[in-house]
């Protein structure tokens, strides 16, 4: 069973549909016991960093997330769900993230010819081997929608990067904690392979 955390700030239905298309049993929930009982947990996210953290705390999901990550249960953050795993974000000064990983979330710098937010398909490079990307060809294309990006403190956890004026840390892995800045559920067959790899961990 895969628990998809519902905190009123996630792209829930498309994530659920993607896992169901893979034949995976999943539930969209904010019930603490259901999340604890799940074999794997997914934290989606759309919206602002500060509002999302407020919602997680409102439903006391921040502590449940820490529990399941501490148990080394496979956990996947998607888009804003990646950003929330880190210390904080320039988007919401003074708001502390879950800080399960070290790094900062900063605004994509403006540059000629680049539109912000970064919306659309972009290719991934793999600086280190990551379990989410098993079976994929080099430089696969995935779908992004974001204005802020991760600069991880420890480069060894960065399993995928993309270029958009700067080098964006697009995916991280540490133990059984995984996260993607892009949307695998909107990334066609490549994204389904990534979600399948997660479901098989």
Residue 9 is predicted with a pLDDT of 79
Write out the H or E segment, with its range, that includes residue 34: helix 32-37
**Could you tell me the CA-to-CA distances from 186 to 18, 64, 164 in Å, in that order?**
9, 27, 19
Domain tally, the chain: 1
Q: What digits encode the pLDDT tens for the residues 62-101?
A: 999 999 999 999 999 999 999 999 999 999 999 999 999 9
Segment 161-183 mean pLDDT: 98
**pTM, 2 dp:** 0.97
Mean pLDDT of the chain: 97
B/e letters for 86-104, b = 16+ CB within 10 Å, e = fewer, are: bebbebbeebebbebbebb
Residue 14's domain comprises: 2-199
Q: What digits encode the pLDDT tens for the residues 25-73?
A: 999 999 999 999 999 999 999 899 999 999 999 999 999 999 999 999 9
Q: Specify burial of residue 170 (Cβ count, 10 A radius: 0-12, 13-18, 19+).
A: buried
Residue 113 is predicted with a pLDDT of 87
Q: Does the structure show a pLDDT above 80 at 11?
A: no
CATH number at residue 79: 3.40.50.880
Active-site positions read 79, 183, 185
């Amino acid at each position: 069973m895969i628990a998809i955390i519902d905190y009123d700030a996630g792209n829930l239905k498309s994530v659920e549909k993607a896992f169901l298309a893979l034949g995976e049993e999943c539930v969209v929930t904010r019930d603490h016991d259901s999340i604890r009982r799940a074999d794997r947990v997914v934290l989606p996210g759309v919206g602002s960093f500060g509002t999302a953290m407020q919602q997680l705390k409102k439903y006391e999901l921040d502590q449940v997330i820490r529990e399941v990550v501490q148990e080394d249960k496979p956990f996947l953050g998607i888009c804003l769900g990646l950003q929330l795993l880190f210390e904080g974000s320039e988007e919401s000064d003074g708001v502390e993230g879950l800080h399960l990983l070290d790094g900062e979330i900063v605004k994509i710098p403006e540059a000629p010819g680049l539109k912000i937010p970064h919306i659309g398909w972009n290719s991934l490079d793999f600086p280190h081997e990551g379990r989410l990307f098993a079976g994929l060809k080099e430089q696969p294309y995935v779908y992004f929608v974001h204005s802020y990006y991760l600069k991880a403190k420890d480069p060894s956890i960065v399993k995928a990067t993309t270029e958009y004026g700067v080098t964006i840390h697009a995916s991280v892995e540490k133990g059984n904690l995984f996260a993607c800045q892009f949307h695998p559920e909107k990334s066609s067959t490549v994204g389904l392979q990534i979600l399948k790899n997660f479901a098989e961990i």
